[in-house]
Structure 1
Amino acid sequence: MKITRFSPDSDLIIVDGRVWSPECRHRRPVRLVLDTGAATTVVVPEVVDELGYSPRDGEAITVCAPPLVANRVTFSG
């Protein structure tokens, strides 16, 4: 398990994460804002395009392996 220290003086809690391609063969590191009250996670279109998702046509999302960080991912253009 990775431990990330947070600064109480900062406005945002930033964590490192990974987004996997639809086939789970490729991944891309991302920096995410941790929002404990958020119902969704937003990833910029450039990242999902690079990995092979098509938010314009819709994609089924498959979780590759634990740990499960988000239980649902929705793309909107």
Structure 2
Amino acid sequence: MLTAHPIGIIAIIVIALLVFGGRGKISNIMGDLGKGITSFKKGLKDEVGDAKTADVDPADDALDVTPRKKD
């Protein structure tokens, strides 16, 4: 019925090593993930703040699309 494929066995061994491989490995991984997410969010906020403070006048980029009168 159920046979163990080499890929499945390798996946189980990798998960077991992550869980039981050492003291605090998962907490270190999750801590690094949290730091990465925090850094990403901070970078997004910095970009939004920079865009708001930029001296760009939207009227400079606007095109005149009013129709011309025919004589």
TM range (shorter): under 0.3
Per residue, is there more helix in 1 or in 2?
2
**TM-score normalised by L of structure 2:** 0.19
| TM-score after normalising by structure 1 | 0.18
Looking at secondary structure, tell me which structure has more strand per residue: 1
Larger Rg: 2
